[in-house]
Amino acid sequence: MEHDYVGMLVERIALDANELHVSTHDRGETTLSWRPSGRTGPVTLVVREGDLGAAVTFLGEECREELWPNSSIVDAGFNMLLTHLDEVVATRNLSEPLRVGRRGLIWPSGH
């Protein structure tokens, strides 16, 4: 079954985001920019469909059985990815764009 992982991510972020902007670039990247509830500055996340799909699958396989046993691997993976994203937004310097790699969110080094 084919998934539109970027589209699914946009839908999930839009549920709790203010002023969500999505732009697709020639090199296969999609940039999402929004202002999370309770935060004054914007968050920018750069994703590629293949990397996002791999990350969601990896995270879902790692956590589904323990945390979301009644969910699909994709749903569990998105739940974990968004949990990590919330942690980064709450605790890290977000002056640089965040990225999703094949194993999940790439955390910024700044505190």
Terminal C-alpha separation, the chain = 39
| Residues 54/73, Cβ–Cβ less than 8 Å | no
Helix (H) / strand (E) containing 17: strand 17-24
Closest CA relative to residue 9, chosen from 99, 109, 107: 99
Res. 85: pLDDT tops 60: yes
Q: Which amino acid is at 8?
A: M
- Note the pLDDT of residue 110: 55
User: Helix, strand, or coil here: 92?
Assistant: coil
Res. 73: pLDDT tops 80: yes
Range 10-31 average pLDDT: 90
pLDDT band at 33 (very low <50, low <70, confident <90, very high): very high
